[in-house]
Chain A
Amino acid sequence: MKKYLSTLIICLVLAVFFVVVQLGINNGFITGYWVTNLYLVGINVILASSLNLINGFTGEFSLGHAGFMAVGAYSGAIITANLGLPFPLAVIVGMLAAGLTGVLVGLPTLRLRGDYLAIATLGFGEIVRVVLMNIDYVGGASGLRDIPFVVNWPIIFFSVVLSLLLIRNFICSSHGRACLSVRENDLAAEMMGINITYYKVLAFVIGAALAGLAGVLYAHYYTVLQPRDFSFMLTFDVLVMVMVGGLGSLTGSVVGAVLITVASAFLQSIPELRMVIYALLLIISAVFRPQGLLGEKEVSLKILQKLGGVFNGAVGSKQTH
Chain B
Amino acid sequence: MALLAVNKLTKAFGGLVALNNFVLEMEKGELVGLIGPNGAGKTTVFNLLTGLYQPTSGNIVFEGRDLRGKHPHQITKMGIARTFQNIRLFGNLSVLDNVKIAHQVVINYGLIPAFLRIPPFYRREGEIEKAALELMEIFDLKKYAHEKAKNLPYGEQRRLEITRALATKPKLLLLDEPAAGMNPQETYDLLELIKWIRDEFDLTIILIEHDMSLVMGLCERVLVLDYGSLIAEGTPQEIQQNPRVIEAYLGDEEVAAWEE
Contact = CB atoms under 8 A, between A and B. Distances in A.
Q: Do A and B come from one complex?
A: yes
Contacts of A181: 90, 93, 101
Contacts, number: 93
A192 B75 CA distance: 10
B104 A193 contact: yes
Given A188-B88, A192-B76, A192-B168, A174 B109 contact: yes
Contact of B93 (A169, A170, A184): A184
B91 A185 contact: yes
Interface string A151-188: 00000000000000010011001111110110011011
Interface of A, helix, strand, loop or mixed by DSSP: helix
B209 interface: no
B114 A170 contact: yes
Nearest to B170: A193
B76 A184 contact: no
Interface string B77-97: 100011010001111110001
A262 interface: no
Contact of A194 (B73, B88, B93, B117): B73
A189 interface: yes
B108 interface: yes
A255 to B, nearest CB: 20
Interface residues of A, number: 25
Contacts of B97: 177, 180
Interface string B18-47: 000000000000000000000000000000
A188 B84 CA distance: 8
A192 B164 contact: yes
A278 to B, nearest CB: 30
B100 interface: yes
Nearest to B46: A191
A173 B121 contact: yes
Contacts of A195: 71, 73
A191 B71 contact: no
B102 to A, nearest CB: 4
Contacts of B13: none
A296 interface: yes
Interface of A: 166, 169-170, 173-178, 180-181, 184-185, 187-196, 202, 296
5 cross-chain pairs, A with B, having the tightest CB-CB distances, nearest first: A193-B105, A173-B114, A193-B76, A184-B90, A188-B88
Given A175-B114, A192-B101, A195-B73, 11 more contacts: A173-B109, A174-B104, A177-B100, A185-B91, A188-B84, A191-B52, A192-B165, A193-B102, A193-B104, A193-B105, A195-B71
16 contacts: A169-B114, A174-B108, A174-B109, A174-B114, A174-B128, A175-B111, A177-B100, A181-B90, A181-B93, A184-B92, A185-B91, A188-B84, A188-B90, A191-B76, A192-B101, A296-B92
